[in-house]
A and B are shown apart, each in its own frame.
Chain A
Amino acid sequence: EVQLVESGGGLIQPGGSLRLSCAASGLTVSSNYMTWVRQAPGKGLEWLSLIYSDGNTYYADSVRGRFTISRDNSKNILYLQMNSLRAEDTAVYYCAREVNTYASYYFDYWGQGTLVTVSS
């Protein structure tokens, strides 16, 4: 059974940094395409970042230059390093596994999410 468990969320002041973790079981992070998605309170889903199995990374314009996706292959953990946090980054952050076939990209396994609140 695949499980993705996020952690690392919490209350952080504007301008601060936070690192989210996504611990995986039942799948190997380094062999999969993994992504981060967030949802601001009462709002829709927003795709943030993607890491391919070959290590290539991609970002949404809203977080490029501030957020960094990475993974620890030995621990089977996906990370999201978030810097220069703003109030508008307040959201529940989800990790998910992407199924990536020719012209078809979708997310079949999701974590339970971790809440990040950016406030002074």
Chain B
Amino acid sequence: SYELIQPPSVSVSPGQTASITCSGDELGHKYASWYQQKPGQSPVLVIYQDTKRPSGIPERFSGSNSGNTATLTISGTQAMDEADYYCQAWDSTARVFGTGTKVTVL
């Protein structure tokens, strides 16, 4: 089955840039999406179709996808960005989530 692998954790200082990777076989040939989930809350879509931001998502969130890796970048990270982040793609008729990354803003 298709797997999407993310680093378990990423630490970043306030105002700095956080990059979260998502690796999967030929992921660059698919569209990737990203979700933010804060404790006790439902996931929120922050990036879709590799690079697009839904309405209401700050510009500091951006995405890219090439080769086997999709990347979510948070520029000028704020304390409110501390959360779990999941990538998501598809394989045939199944949908697949990444293993998840906890972003800590130190």
Which of A's residues lie within 8 Å of B, judged by CB? 35, 37, 44-47, 50, 58, 60-61, 94, 98-99, 103-108, 110-113
Contact = CB atoms under 8 A, between A and B. Distances in A.
15 contacts: A44-B86, A44-B97, A45-B88, A45-B100, A60-B94, A94-B42, A103-B30, A104-B48, A105-B33, A105-B90, A106-B33, A106-B49, A107-B33, A108-B45, A110-B44
A110 B46 CA distance: 13
| Chain B binding surface SS class | strand
A106 B88 contact: yes
Nearest to B101: A44
Given A94-B42, A103-B30, A104-B31, A47 B49 contact: no
Contacts of A106: 31, 33, 45, 48-49, 88
Interface of B: 1, 30-31, 33, 35, 37, 42-45, 48-49, 54, 84, 86, 88, 90, 93-100
Given A45-B37, A45-B97, 9 more contacts: A45-B100, A47-B96, A47-B97, A94-B43, A105-B33, A106-B31, A107-B45, A108-B45, A110-B42
Contacts of B97: 37, 44-47
